[in-house]
Structure 1
Amino acid sequence: MVPSLVPSSHRARERRVTPAPRPTALAAAGTLALTLALTGCQGAALDDDAAPATGGPVKIGVVVPLTGPVSQVGTALRNGLELAVKKVNADGGVHGKPVEYVVVDDAGDPANSTQLARRLIRQDKVTMLFGTITGDTAEAVGRVADEAHVPFGTAILGDTDRCFAYQWGFGESTRQMLVPTVPGLVKKYGKKIAITGSDYNYPRFYADIAEELVKKEGGTVVAKEFSPLGQTDWQPVISRVKNAGPDAVLSMVVGADAVTFSKQAQQFGLLTPKLGYEGAPLDADFQPALADLVAGRTHTVRWSDGVDDAESAAFTKAYRDAHQWKAPIPEVAGNAYFGVKFFLAAAEKAGSGEPEAVNKAIGGLSYDSPLGKGTRFDPTNHVLQADMREVTIGRDGSYKVTRTHPMVADTTPKKGCS
């Protein structure tokens, strides 16, 4: 069971109702409570056809799983976003007004994500949307954002083969992760690679690009296995992968499943020190549960709390102080923190809280942060062109940066961006 990461002062203001598993979209709209977290009061409902507010503060609608199989990662994203808004407001806000935000729990269900994103736009009149964890929920919100012409930012790692004109990804793209990773993995461990993943759109997209890059290095993908979220018995999958005789495993098994899969992979003899292992299970979210299994391994990330930078160190301290946090800080929290600051810098540059003006400013902004100097979005795929790091995971839970890959480009064109 994941412990609550919400400070007591925030929990007192939240009015969340835990949804039943896989509720219908209509039920989700009625049962998932909205939270106006910054001001501590619930906004008044507006008619769907009411005109957008003018001259008001910039408001962020946060769609995030606070319950369900990826709630641990969703909570970390929300925590990073909250600290970013707090910092921006302490520095004067945007257009001289404090930024506001509204948090909704989609439980990792795309039907919920769709309904809640529409509700945030129509009732809460948000300037921008941010959040989600899994690729299917990101795609669901991306479609809503495009329909409504409201910018939407994600902080999760990875992308898909589809691009939305109003969606912007602050997490590392698949190629930005794999291009620095695959050559070293093949060279160190061998040419036979197995791929495992959770069964939704993104892990399959990840597998296709991984296979392309493995072949480029003269290697072979000897197994590909996908399992639904919430899988508890991984033995059949592990047996098939083990029988394929891989030298290394690339895994995009996500959420709590990453821990279950990794532990059973060791139990049933697949995951040994001699086997290469890289992917989502090495993320900082899971290190406390997988300490001995991931210690000494390297991992490719956009940000870690081991980044030696004053701004990054200040965020790390604020996160630890706010949440009494001693474990490694999840990468998604850092991506959210610096991503939201980028979004709000674009809103300031736009000189307006009008969503289309903000979206245009996002596409034209160059922004310095620990994610890189002059980070910017490529117009052909809306991927943030930024630095990547190789980190080595210590037994003490440290994610020490052992190599920096400056401005790893991913300008692969995709359908939908304009």
Structure 2
Amino acid sequence: MTSRREFLAGSAALAASGLFAAVPGARAADPIKFGSILDMSGIFDAYGKPMDMAMRLAIDEINASGGLLDRQVEIAAYDTQSDMALYTQFGQQLARRDKVDVVHGGILSASREAIRQTLRKSKVLYFYNVLYEGGVCDRNLFVTGVTPAQQVEIVVPAAIKKWGPKIYILAADYNYGQITARWMQKYAADAGGEVVQTDFFPLDVADFGSTIAKIQSAAPDIVVSALVGGAHLSFYRQWAAAGMKSKIPMASTTLGVGNEHKVLTAEEGDGILVAYNYSSEIASPANERFLKGWTDKYGDTSLIHEIAVSNYQGVHVWAEGVRKAGTLDRDAVIAALEGGLSIDGPGGKVAIDPKTHHAVLDVHLMEFAGQKLKVLESFAQRQPVDTQGVCDLVANPDDNTQYEIKI
């Protein structure tokens, strides 16, 4: 992913900016304050920069429609440079100095946890709009990305049905990769599969020669990957260069989330199986409006990816909650979001599960074809059943736990 910095270059160390335009009826002196905190530079900029762009498009749309509560929305946005310490610093700054009404941000689970407790204690509503491992139970938090039960339960059985039961798992060595690997093992077993090996890799590992040799020796039917970040992208290139792509097929829960399939050649990426909420190929009025809005604002739609769309949808979910509540009061907005609220987003209907504050989403089984995401099959309104197994904020509204779901 880092090879794409020529067109994903973010702002400098700190990109704090405001967006406000007075319109009739708006209170120019009293805008709604919207906080954003993302990796817009550094090793995760390929994720963060398009997320920032999507957020700004959503705020533009909200302001152009008259804003919220007859007020415009003003952005305070910070670039963490992919540094967890800056997440902590800027999270405190948004809550205590900028006094924002809501924060949308975080990419890695570690970045979410670096700011979640600060925002909860400060009573600043927080949206985490990224696919992750599931299990966070916090009434102050809303999650709009896919969880393993929404995604892994689709892609792993589909890969087994297509290619065979023996699976070799590769995953990033932090909580997302470790927990997702266990979900892969569960859903493989449920589908009659067998995991022959699971290997974990630190985020800075870029040489996979010995791993490729191990996979060749194990002779699985499928490789399933939960690798993350620019260094790990090297695996797919090395795999193809070793002549393995035509011999052992692959599925992934992460490839393409940061547009990696557009960095890889078609020869390196085509045929890899994934399951996500979004593809630009989805034919719907909501997606057509989104793509037109993006084109009008930015021109190049090639930067759009899964978690950029999740961020866009998350902003509109929050806005709908404010409209329904008729106030910015945190508890009133939470109640509105818990009350059966939904929007029609580029990836389909997005609803909020009141027990977990996670999104109910459409998920699409897809494969890479010509550096695009070709939809093979769609699964409507997938519930976050993994997190539902441990979290019930209706019964226990004071819960504040990152559960490690027993699998």
For the superposition of Structure 1 and Structure 2, which TM-score range results when normalised by the shorter chain?
0.7 to 0.9
Alignment partner for residue 330 of structure 1, among 305, 308, 312? 305
C-alpha distance in structure 2 between counterparts of 1:156 and 1:408, whole Å: 16
How far residue 124 of structure 1 moved from its aligned partner, in angstroms, is 0.6
Whether 2:210 is the aligned partner of 1:236: answer yes
Partners of 1:346 and 1:365 within 8 A in 2: no
Give the 3-state SS of the residue equivalent to 1:88 in structure 2: helix
Alignment partner for residue 414 of structure 1, among 384, 390, 395? 390
Partner of 1:82: 56
Shift in alpha-carbon separation, 1:2–1:297, aligned structure 2, 3 A: closer
Partner of 2:400: none
How far residue 268 of structure 1 moved from its aligned partner, in angstroms, is 3.3
Alignment partner for residue 94 of structure 1, among 68, 81, 90? 68
Shift in alpha-carbon separation, 1:37–1:402, aligned structure 2, 3 A: farther
Which string of whole-angstrom CA distances, capped at 9 and with x for unpartnered residues, describes residues 171-195 of structure 1? 1111100112121111111111122
C-alpha distance in structure 2 between counterparts of 1:189 and 1:251, whole Å: 15
C-alpha distance in structure 2 between counterparts of 1:158 and 1:272, whole Å: 30
Whether 2:379 is the aligned partner of 1:377: answer no
Alignment partner for residue 114 of structure 2, among 140, 155, 159? 140
After TM superposition, the structure 1 stretch with the greater mean CA deviation from structure 2, 121-130 or 140-149, is 140-149
Whether 2:291 is the aligned partner of 1:289: answer no
Partners of 2:206 and 2:232 within 8 A in 1: no
Q: TM-score, normalised by structure 1?
A: 0.84
Q: CA RMSD, aligned part only?
A: 2.4
C-alpha distance in structure 1 between counterparts of 2:211 and 2:34, whole Å: 41
Partner of 2:166: 192
Partner of 1:37: 18
Q: Which amino acid aligns with 1:414?
A: V
Whether 2:69 is the aligned partner of 1:111: answer no
How far residue 151 of structure 1 moved from its aligned partner, in angstroms, is 1.7
C-alpha distance in structure 2 between counterparts of 1:233 and 1:191, whole Å: 27
Give the 3-state SS of the residue equivalent to 2:245 in structure 1: coil
Residue pairs, 1:19-418, within 5 angstroms: 33-39=14-20, 56-272=30-246, 274-283=248-257, 285-290=259-264, 291-325=266-300, 327=302, 329-370=304-345, 371-373=347-349, 375-395=350-370, 397-411=371-385, 412-415=388-391, 417=393, 418=397
Partner of 1:51: none
C-alpha distance in structure 2 between counterparts of 1:365 and 1:99, whole Å: 24
Partners of 2:133 and 2:175 within 8 A in 1: no
C-alpha distance in structure 1 between counterparts of 2:31 and 2:133, whole Å: 30
C-alpha distance in structure 1 between counterparts of 2:116 and 2:133, whole Å: 12
Structure 2: give runs of 5+ residues left out of the alignment.
22-28, 398-407
Shift in alpha-carbon separation, 1:352–1:4, aligned structure 2, 3 A: farther
After TM superposition, the structure 1 stretch with the greater mean CA deviation from structure 2, 69-78 or 55-64, is 55-64
How far residue 130 of structure 1 moved from its aligned partner, in angstroms, is 0.7
How far residue 326 of structure 1 moved from its aligned partner, in angstroms, is 5.0
Which string of whole-angstrom CA distances, capped at 9 and with x for unpartnered residues, describes residues 236-275 of structure 1? 3333333322211221111213421211122234433542
Q: Which amino acid aligns with 2:253?
A: G
C-alpha distance in structure 1 between counterparts of 2:4 and 2:258, whole Å: 15
How far residue 108 of structure 1 moved from its aligned partner, in angstroms, is 2.8
After TM superposition, the structure 1 stretch with the greater mean CA deviation from structure 2, 87-96 or 143-152, is 143-152
Aligned positions, number? 381
Give the 3-state SS of the residue equivalent to 2:151 in structure 1: helix
Shift in alpha-carbon separation, 1:39–1:89, aligned structure 2, 3 A: closer
Partners of 1:57 and 1:94 within 8 A in 2: no
How far residue 161 of structure 1 moved from its aligned partner, in angstroms, is 2.8
Partners of 2:205 and 2:232 within 8 A in 1: no
Give the 3-state SS of the residue equivalent to 1:197 in structure 2: strand
Give the 3-state SS of the residue equivalent to 2:133 in structure 1: coil
Q: Which amino acid aligns with 2:17?
A: L
C-alpha distance in structure 2 between counterparts of 1:271 and 1:109, whole Å: 34
C-alpha distance in structure 1 between counterparts of 2:224 and 2:137, whole Å: 25
Q: Which amino acid aligns with 2:365?
A: E
How far residue 277 of structure 1 moved from its aligned partner, in angstroms, is 2.5
How far residue 416 of structure 1 moved from its aligned partner, in angstroms, is 8.0
Q: Which amino acid aligns with 2:274?
A: H
C-alpha distance in structure 1 between counterparts of 2:326 and 2:295, whole Å: 34
How far residue 34 of structure 1 moved from its aligned partner, in angstroms, is 4.8
Shift in alpha-carbon separation, 1:4–1:319, aligned structure 2, 3 A: farther
Q: Which amino acid aligns with 2:263?
A: A
How far residue 68 of structure 1 moved from its aligned partner, in angstroms, is 1.8
Give the 3-state SS of the residue equivalent to 1:221 in structure 2: strand
**Which runs of at least 4 in structure 1 moved beyond 6 Å after TM superposition?**
none
Partners of 1:151 and 1:356 within 8 A in 2: no
C-alpha distance in structure 2 between counterparts of 1:236 and 1:163, whole Å: 39
Q: TM-score, normalised by structure 2?
A: 0.86
Partners of 2:325 and 2:336 within 8 A in 1: yes
How far residue 284 of structure 1 moved from its aligned partner, in angstroms, is 6.1
Give the 3-state SS of the residue equivalent to 1:60 in structure 2: strand
Q: Which amino acid aligns with 1:3?
A: R
Shift in alpha-carbon separation, 1:328–1:64, aligned structure 2, 3 A: closer
Partners of 2:203 and 2:232 within 8 A in 1: no
Partners of 1:194 and 1:246 within 8 A in 2: yes
Give the 3-state SS of the residue equivalent to 2:377 in structure 1: strand
C-alpha distance in structure 2 between counterparts of 1:249 and 1:106, whole Å: 33
How far residue 285 of structure 1 moved from its aligned partner, in angstroms, is 0.7
